[in-house]
């Protein structure tokens, strides 16, 4: 974004469809939780499984 680093967070369902996406300046727990809240609001239910890249956030 305008020559600056940004982290792309994505929530994808089991069929590979994009549920939500978000760009953030920092890769931290607050950003990860925000994406999770938005994705849950979009879907309307809790996921039965969450898969991450292994990063702490």
Q: 38 lies in a domain?
A: yes
Domain range for 12 is 7-43
C-alpha 53/C-alpha 46 separation (Å) is 20
For the record, the structure tokens of 51 come out as: 């898969």
Q: 56 lies in a domain?
A: no
For the record, the structure tokens of 4 come out as: 């600056």
> What domain count does the chain have?
1
Q: 51 lies in a domain?
A: no
- Judged against a pLDDT cut of 70, whether residue 57 lies above it is answered with no
CB proximity list for 25: less than 8 A, separation 6 or greater: 4, 5, 6, 7
Q: 49 lies in a domain?
A: no
DSSP state of 35: H
For the full predicted model, state whether its pTM sits above 0.75. no
Q: 13 lies in a domain?
A: yes
- Residues 4-33 have pLDDT tens digits of 889 888 888 888 899 889 888 888 888 888
49: phi then psi, degrees, rounded to nearest 5: -155, 145
Q: 25 lies in a domain?
A: yes
C-alpha 52/C-alpha 57 separation (Å) is 9
């Amino acid at each position: 974004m305008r020559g600056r680093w940004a982290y792309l967070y994505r929530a994808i369902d089991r069929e590979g469809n994009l549920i939500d996406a978000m760009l953030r300046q920092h890769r931290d727990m607050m950003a990860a939780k925000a994406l999770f809240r938005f994705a849950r609001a979009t879907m309307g239910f809790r996921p039965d499984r969450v898969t991450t890249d292994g990063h702490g956030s």
